[in-house]
Amino acid sequence: MNLSAQLRLPLRYPNVSSAVFMTKRARWLVLLGFLIPGSAQILAGKRGLGRFGLGAMLLFVVLGLCALVFFLVDRALALTFFTNTWALLGLQIAMVFYGLVWLILGFDTLCLIRLNRVAVNWRPVIASLAVILTLAQVCAAAWTTSTIGAGRNLIDTLFANKAPVVAPVEGRYNILLLGADAAPDREGLRPDSISLISVDAKTGQSTIIGLPREMADVPFPQDSPMYTLHPNGFGVDGGCNTGRCWLNSLYAEAEYFNPELYPDASGRASSPGVEATKDAVSGVTGLKVQFYVLVNMDGFAKLIDALGGVQMHVKERIPIGGDASGYGVEGYIEPGVQQLNGYNALWYARSRYGSARGDYDRMERQHELQTAILKQMTPQNVLLRFQDILNSGEYLAETDIPSSMFGRFVDLAGKAKEHEPVRVELSPPAIDPEYPDFNEAQRLVREGVVRASVEG
């Protein structure tokens, strides 16, 4: 008989009359069964179940290592695969399977240790340890299954556009970022903040272009449906239906008065108002806007709360609520380094009163807040608060970014954190929004893109 067989015999055919030996045997079986599921069954002579458990565990480890290698070799492709809803469904089913396997093996191990033969003072300790370790494995599988399900639901809900992958334009992805309140008492939607994010498709280096919401006479590219109505700029020939013909009025203008100009918008998870705004921003900046993200400001607050707040260096006293006269102010965000919750961070970005430059100071605060949130999105913080972040995402945004590109943009977002974004503000003193010089605006944008490419 070889040494291995000799070592197994006492565990398989124990001396049940020795409480000391049975106690040691029980401790070893419980610990080995937790560390290497199936090993307790093999050692105790239950080969069929043990081999099944060990095989399942070996497959689990091999698949995990393959996923790690896949991620290291081609991170963008790996993220694209593992954010596919069908792949996530497969992972959910796999985790349910492993949870059941670990539950069966754990309680089978509890039977194999013959608790009635263990020393009396050790029985509750070993029984509790066996149950706790088994439930730890099962709960980990259940949590993972739930988290994957939440992610799959978010991707299905948020990324409703099922179009194939879209190529970058001249090596860059251009994404329109709109910030708006979705309050039911607001008539129509007028974005409170408008930015264009131009991202290098290889390096992730970005240029963030801020556009004032009250920019007048915005032009449209000649291939835009809005160009036929406003060939010389929005509202220049005959005005518009929304009163002030500003950039942020375009959403309501196209959505409620000219929706027929964009008949296929809904099929691309967009809307006539968004498409018209995309066209105008393309005309102002000279960059082809490919996608949009509409951020619901209330959802924005939920995201910040999910992250545990955000640290900001507040440069001046910011009123919470109120109007230009100061009536209705509920409180203030005081100067200094502050840890802002979602509600206060929302007012930090939203408040336009009490600052010398009004909307332009507000635009600057919004960009500062965006940067601070990106810094807060560390892997440790995201993992710690993953479920809360996923749950906030359902209320946070709308987008026409295809689900097929989600993994690619996650990869780019990771690369973007390695660079400081280049900022271009198309606002005073560089650009007068009432009488804008669009040639100058496009020159500033080109300079910003070049600077980002060099620094990237």
231-259 pLDDT, tens digit per residue, is 999 999 889 998 889 999 999 999 999 99
Q: Tell me the C-alpha distance between 64 and 456, whole Å.
A: 33
Percent of the chain topping pLDDT 70 = 87
Report whether 137 contacts 34 (CB < 8 A): yes
The answer to whether 248 and 214 are in contact (CB under 8 A) is yes
Residue 1: its pLDDT value, please? 45
Q: Reply yes or no on whether the pLDDT at 158 is more than 60.
A: yes
CA distance 409 to 156: 16
CATH class in words for 172-307+377-455: alpha beta
Contacts of 290 (CB under 8 A, 6+ apart): 166, 169, 173, 174, 175
| Bridge-based pairing state of the strands 206-211 and 172-180 | unpaired
**Contact between residue 215 and residue 433 where contact means Cβ atoms under 8 Å apart:** yes
| CA-derived radius of gyration, the chain | 30
How high is the pLDDT of residue 387? Answer: 58
**The pLDDT of residue 346:** 84
Residues of the chain with CATH 3.30.420.590: 172-307+377-455
User: For 98-123, how does the pLDDT look when each residue is reduced to its tens digit (9 = 90+)?
Assistant: 999 999 999 999 998 888 888 999 99
Please check the confidence at residue 186 and state whether its pLDDT lies above 50.
no
Most confident by average pLDDT, 197-206, 217-226, 287-296, 389-398? 217-226
* Rounded-to-integer distance, Cα 112 and Cα 100, Å: 18
Please report the pLDDT score of residue 184 as a whole number: 44
Q: What is the pLDDT of residue 136?
A: 94
Average confidence (pLDDT) over 215-219: 96
Q: For residue range 311-357, what is the model confidence (pLDDT) as tens digits?
A: 888 888 888 887 766 677 888 888 888 898 888 888 888 787 767 67
Q: Is the peptide bond before 184 cis (omega within 30 degrees of 0)?
A: no
Please write the tens of the pLDDT for every residue from 379-416.
Answer: 555 555 555 665 665 556 788 988 888 888 888 877 87
Position 185 pLDDT exceeds 50: no
